[in-house]
Structure 1
Amino acid sequence: MRKMAPRKKGPLQTVQKEGDDIKRKVDALTQDVTKLDISDRTETLRRCTDLQNTVAETLKRLNKLTKADESAPIGNYDQRKRDEEERLRILQDRLKTLTLQLQPQEKDAGHSSSEAEEDSAEEVSEEEDDSQVGEVEEEEDVAEDDNVNDEDDDEADHKVKEDVMSTTKGAGTYVALSAFTGEEEGDLTIQKGAVLKILQKNEDGWWLAQDSKGNKGLVPRNYLKMISLLEQESEDEDNSEEEQDGENETAKSRPSTSSNWDTVREAITEIDATDVLSAMGAIPPGFRPSTLSRLLEEGTSYRASHYIQPKLGQSELCFKDLQLDPDSGKVHARLSRVCLTLTLWSCRMIPPPGVGLQVLSRHVRLCAFNGTEVLSNIHTVRVTYNPSSPKTWSFSPRMSSLLPCLLDGDCFFHCDSDSPDLGILFELGITYIRNSTGERGDLSCGWAFLKLFDENGALIPLRTQELAVHGGTPYEGKADIDATSTKRGSSSGVLQQMLMSRKQPKLIVKLRSPNTRTREQLNLLPDTIIGYLSTVRLLALYRQLLADALLLERVTMQNADLICSAVLATFPEVLDHPDLMDAFKNSWVVSQNNLKRSDKKDITALKKLFENVYMSSVFPLLYSAEMPAPLWADESTETQRARLIYSPIHKITMETMLSPNHPHQAFDISQVTYDLLNSAWH
């Protein structure tokens, strides 16, 4: 009698089986640690690290699973998935504790220098491995400055330099951006400005660190910023000493050694500046250096230009978020876990900065957030401020013409993260200039978090939400913005508590479900992106043009040649410049109103109109030699750009394009070619 073939296990069952295997290995490792011989410590630590990586990979695969992946129905699927995730998290915590136990203790005088060198080499090797898998998210930027004066090397810099040089050579050295108080066993309590040596970088965002006193523990990576690569610093100083044969050589080497410490100064300047401003009463104690502004300055990873691009699938042979509907030829709609619109209504009882600071911009930055990491682009809306009501921030002023994007509080939120803690993080911020020194900076005036799912995994009701605004940062817990404010519950009377509640800082936002037409357009966008609601139609048309070029017009799906298209190549950059997006949006509205009624529903006519309007209204401005580079919250630059954008004499025609009165930047091939691999790579 023929045996029946065993039934193939589904993806969730496969992960559960892997979890059983991991648990057995963790249990065996725990027993080995209890009877560990000192000579086996290195090998056991390696086993622990390997298991941590395995757990992280398994968790990642588990989070991507859905019911649709199963070949057969599974009862209570969501609960089983949550149970498995909880089990893996517990195993992850156990491995963290074992890692701390396995870390070598401080070496006493009896240890040989060769043993110290071996440990140092192992740490360097671990860091090299980390860099190969892409876990190092920040690199040291060393700027050469030939005009460095000895006066810059003040006592604070020497103190930081001594702390940094006291750590082991070759280790990644970081400065703490904020104080962190350990809440669980194995956490390391640190003070703001502390210099730490990173021993291990875990994928979950908790890094194993060692402070200057030799204490070890886990610290959130978001609290840290790299300040120096010590081996390079040491070598630069040694080379400088050997080359000092005369005054000329001395002058030549001084910028080399001093400039490396410019990076250290840059890392601590913002911290010190905030402390100084707080001490002199210029800002309330709850204000902090802006977390989201810092992320925006690090590159394009958190900008809309990055998130609008299609992403390659796991095989890197097709796109995971851009497909065509075979019947209509249009972009295939993709349903994200969260699809909603929100309106920033107002902020109340936000304490203003004190004397000595000139505020250049008040704004709110928002993004998808799960409590530990930013999951989307960071979107910015500028506040309409009335000096007569200094503690009230308003949005979306009434205007007779189209509202500028930067002032538009109507936004869309599209996110496909399956995190149970998914929500929207709001950071209230200011860009300021210090009157006495001319120093510019960005401060967070408080933050609020709106969790989008309840304990049962259901989406919260879409209605007006009144959110408490907290001081500090999302990573250091909830703090009062103003030291003079009284915490809730401190008064015994109910009436007094109600009165005090009205004095607490609040952010009011209104959540809505998009109408049918808007939802259809949002479903054509990438799985995760946030932006201005007024630009949704333009973003959807851009995605249709992308699909045509990448899925229909390529010779084969394996062809990765440059695509000749100025629109595809440069439109993402325009998303990062609200004033240029305004110019495009205004020209689009005028041109669309002149279309015939039948053409307004014709996708072919709309795509052609998109390209024509873009090339005549925006593209030439991108590369005009007269157009100053954008500078955030600089009134002079913004005024000059607006004058060029809306000046009638700059209306683009073939004549003006060729006129010597309108010079353009030198031509570069990237202006007119779309690089598929560079744009769609992970």
Structure 2
Amino acid sequence: MPQKKKGALQTVQRDTDDIRRRVDVLTQDVSGLDVEERTETTQRCLDLQNTVTETLKKLQQLTKADESTPIGNYEQRKHDELERLRTLQDRLRALRLQLQPQDKGVGPSSDGEQESMGEEEEESQEDEEDEDCEEEDDDDAAVDLVAGDAGRGRGPAEETPPSYVALGAFTGDEEGDLTVQKGDVLTVLQKNEDGWWFAQDPKGNRGLVPQNYLQMISPHEQDKQSEDEESDEEEYARNDPSDVQPGTSSNWGSSQKAVAEMDATDVLSAMGAIPPGFRASTLSRLLEEGTSYKASHYIQPKLSQSELCFKDLHLDPNTGKVHVYSSLVCLTLTLWSCRLIPPPGVGLQVLSRHVRLCAFNGTQVLSNIHTVRATHSPKTWSFSPRVQLVHTQSQDTFENTCSQIYVSGVLPSLLDGDCFFRCDSDSPGLGILFELGITYIRNSTGEKGDLSCGWAFLRLFDDNGTLIPPRTHELTLHGGTPYEREANIDATSNKRGTNTGVLQQMLMSRKQPKLVVKLKSPNTRTREQLNLLPDTMVGCLSTLPLITLYRQLLADTLLLDRVTMQNADLICSPVLATFPKVLDQPDLMDAFKKSWVETLNSLKRSDKKDIRVLKESFESVFLSSVFPLLFLAEMPAPLWAHEDTETQRARLIYNPTQKITMETMTSSNHTHQAFNVSQVTYDLLDSAWR
């Protein structure tokens, strides 16, 4: 019987198994080597590195067409093989650097040979070392130069390698990783293409650090930092000179910064209050930086490159409506549920569980950040509850206050998992970033914070540049942040590089945290409304009709009613000026939506199709429902996941006995904020350039 022909992927898998066995043998042989054996072992390590590189290139070029027989789950198997080879690459780099000669001092030796060495011998030795370095590869040459410079001293004419500062704390959980604290100053010895750089800390420890954790310090900043550290040392020595230890002064400034800027997440991790993989929320921090990632920023018209006209707001001369613009990606999605999210430990009270989503290309956020709050059961987070909420002590305060508007059949925007997604970026890595988060308060200190419980990324284009079809996706949640190497949420999850069977992988997959999302193609009516929006925006689907009417009012006011297109005076329009503020406050948006639905139901069928009637009704309902609430003195400013604030705002917004209208604004029963011209005027330049 003829021997069964091996497939291309199977051949690579067997090659990888052989390389792994050779690396295991090399790892055992490294300890206890003399000089001659070290040279031979270094050559073996280099040969293995070249073999791994060649195998990686071969694997990356493989496709399904290269296989002699069909292989199920081909892409996943290929990805697993890539991870195995990259893990072997990391091990070999660590071994290669371990085989480098240790740094030697420049002081005199016991027999006085270094003292008697003349200048000519020193120069000839340096020349020989330089020639040897030129024969090495670029990456290895960089490492050897750093090691050699440390051993023989660095002359004044030689360049100092650039220093990098750690932007965050990184804990190395695998062999060869370097643990660093936020603010540590590192020297990068080798830059690898996979994004993991080999660095050395001030104590001489070496290891791999993610590239996105490091930021280069310019020579000017480095000199300034050195001066600041010296001044800190001098001041400290003056105050308590007995505590200054020799040899530690160079680390004093960075140590002080690391202690002062210690991340709260590190403290909670050390206490065991949060599961592995939880981090400080990335998207929450962006939302707190201002309005750049809020819907109120993206809804405003943007000026063109010449700044003489609008880039994304034009009128159709035939219909008088906003000109329709199709975006590269225009779809709707529904958040169904997420399961097996590990809860935080004792000592933390959860104020909110939520999902934040946005457009993301792997390196930067490309849209506003939209938030959907989840209702919680012991094992599942769910969205868009379709039954009326009942007041119970176990439910979140927000759910209790929202039950007051369920009677009208209007689902609160913050609980609505039906969203629209619109993005015009041509980045091949474009997708939707989901970050599951909690807002917590520490029982002992009263400190509040936001944590990421995991994130998932849904890529919207395949390798051929085709938009993925609309269907339900079950996304695996990853720990850490989108900018670092994948971290496990569950402490029992596998580390990378471990070899497990297919059945075990299937069983473990069922125990991993998952987020279920359904992508849908919008119907004709919804697509028409989405095409009236800016080219990039994410939001709640139920607010879409109101946003499109606001855009229509913007077009009328800015393109038809202005005397000339060069006129940039303030425009008297309370609706245009304040609707973006309402859009960023979900409870006020719900009140507006509720009043709008009631008004829309009272209109005739012909009026519902008349754009003029709809615009007039929009302005009337807005001014009579939510505009008075914006500037009510009794209305507290919105605070995220703040129980007392949400309760007080809900009492004023939804209480029918204290309904505030334009007629009651002059009543003595209510007090209002001092009048400001920005309440009733729209600033074109400020809105377009913001």
- In the other structure, the counterpart of 2:322 is 331
1:651 aligns with 2:659: yes
- In the other structure, the counterpart of 2:269 is 275
Q: Which amino acid aligns with 1:492?
A: G
1:430 aligns with 2:438: yes
1:317 aligns with 2:308: yes
The question of whether the paired residues in 2 share the 8 Å contact of 1:176 and 1:196 is answered with: no
What does residue range 219-234 of structure 1 map to in structure 2 within 5 Å?
A: none
The question of whether the paired residues in 2 share the 8 Å contact of 1:274 and 1:289 is answered with: no
1:195 aligns with 2:184: yes
- In the other structure, the counterpart of 2:167 is 175
- In the other structure, the counterpart of 2:507 is 499
What does residue range 628-643 of structure 1 map to in structure 2 within 5 Å?
A: 628-643=636-651
The CA deviation at 1:681 is: 1.2
1:411 aligns with 2:419: yes
1:668 aligns with 2:684: no
The CA deviation at 1:272 is: 3.2
1:341 aligns with 2:332: yes
Check 1:321–1:440 CA distance in 2 against 1; reply closer, same or farther (3 A cut): same
Q: Distance in 2 between matches of 1:363 and 1:420?
A: 28
- In the other structure, the counterpart of 1:306 is 297
Identity %: 66
The CA deviation at 1:651 is: 2.2
Over residues 405-450 of structure 1, what are the superposed CA-to-partner deviations in whole Å (9 max), with x where a residue is unaligned?
A: 0000000001111001100010111111111221111111111110
The question of whether the paired residues in 2 share the 8 Å contact of 1:223 and 1:475 is answered with: no
Check 1:173–1:619 CA distance in 2 against 1; reply closer, same or farther (3 A cut): farther
The question of whether the paired residues in 2 share the 8 Å contact of 1:225 and 1:267 is answered with: no
TM-score, normalised relative to structure 2: 0.64
1:350 aligns with 2:344: no
Q: Which amino acid aligns with 2:363?
A: T
Q: Which amino acid aligns with 1:651?
A: K
TM-score, normalised relative to structure 1: 0.65
- In the other structure, the counterpart of 1:185 is none
What does residue range 103-142 of structure 1 map to in structure 2 within 5 Å?
A: none
Check 1:284–1:321 CA distance in 2 against 1; reply closer, same or farther (3 A cut): same
The CA deviation at 1:221 is: 5.7
The CA deviation at 1:195 is: 3.1
The question of whether the paired residues in 2 share the 8 Å contact of 1:570 and 1:671 is answered with: yes
Q: Distance in 2 between matches of 1:180 and 1:363?
A: 29
DSSP-derived class of the 2:629 partner: helix
Check 1:196–1:588 CA distance in 2 against 1; reply closer, same or farther (3 A cut): farther
The question of whether the paired residues in 2 share the 8 Å contact of 1:464 and 1:508 is answered with: yes
Higher gyration radius (CA): 2
The CA deviation at 1:478 is: 2.1
Q: Distance in 1 between matches of 2:338 and 2:563?
A: 53
The CA deviation at 1:304 is: 0.6
Q: Distance in 1 between matches of 2:229 and 2:666?
A: 51
The CA deviation at 1:480 is: 1.6
Q: Distance in 2 between matches of 1:421 and 1:653?
A: 48
Residue 391 of structure 1, aligned match among 379, 383, 387: 379
Q: Which amino acid aligns with 1:605?
A: V
- In the other structure, the counterpart of 1:596 is 604
DSSP-derived class of the 2:350 partner: strand
The CA deviation at 1:264 is: 7.6
Q: Which amino acid aligns with 1:335?
A: S
Check 1:207–1:321 CA distance in 2 against 1; reply closer, same or farther (3 A cut): farther
The question of whether the paired residues in 2 share the 8 Å contact of 1:406 and 1:578 is answered with: yes
Q: Distance in 2 between matches of 1:628 and 1:301?
A: 23
Q: Distance in 2 between matches of 1:609 and 1:416?
A: 32
What does residue range 64-83 of structure 1 map to in structure 2 within 5 Å?
A: none
1:605 aligns with 2:613: yes
Q: Distance in 2 between matches of 1:612 and 1:208?
A: 60
- In the other structure, the counterpart of 1:575 is 583
The CA deviation at 1:180 is: 8.8
Q: Distance in 1 between matches of 2:547 and 2:366?
A: 20
Q: Distance in 2 between matches of 1:502 and 1:224?
A: 39
The question of whether the paired residues in 2 share the 8 Å contact of 1:428 and 1:444 is answered with: yes
What does residue range 543-562 of structure 1 map to in structure 2 within 5 Å?
A: 543-562=551-570
What does residue range 368-383 of structure 1 map to in structure 2 within 5 Å?
A: 368-383=359-374
1:288 aligns with 2:279: yes
Q: Which amino acid aligns with 2:262?
A: I
The question of whether the paired residues in 2 share the 8 Å contact of 1:411 and 1:530 is answered with: yes
The question of whether the paired residues in 1 share the 8 Å contact of 2:433 and 2:457 is answered with: yes
- In the other structure, the counterpart of 1:512 is 520
The CA deviation at 1:673 is: 1.1
DSSP-derived class of the 2:605 partner: coil
The question of whether the paired residues in 2 share the 8 Å contact of 1:414 and 1:529 is answered with: yes
Q: Distance in 2 between matches of 1:266 and 1:293?
A: 22
Q: Distance in 2 between matches of 1:234 and 1:411?
A: 53
DSSP-derived class of the 1:176 partner: coil
Check 1:541–1:358 CA distance in 2 against 1; reply closer, same or farther (3 A cut): same
Q: Distance in 2 between matches of 1:222 and 1:550?
A: 45
Question: Which blocks of at least 5 consecutive residues in structure 1 are unaligned?
Answer: 1-96, 124-166, 183-187, 200-205, 243-260
Q: Distance in 2 between matches of 1:670 and 1:233?
A: 48
Check 1:661–1:178 CA distance in 2 against 1; reply closer, same or farther (3 A cut): farther
Task: Give the aligned CA root-mean-square deviation in angstroms.
Answer: 4.1
Q: Which amino acid aligns with 1:305?
A: S
Q: Distance in 2 between matches of 1:514 and 1:189?
A: 48
1:563 aligns with 2:571: yes
The CA deviation at 1:592 is: 1.1
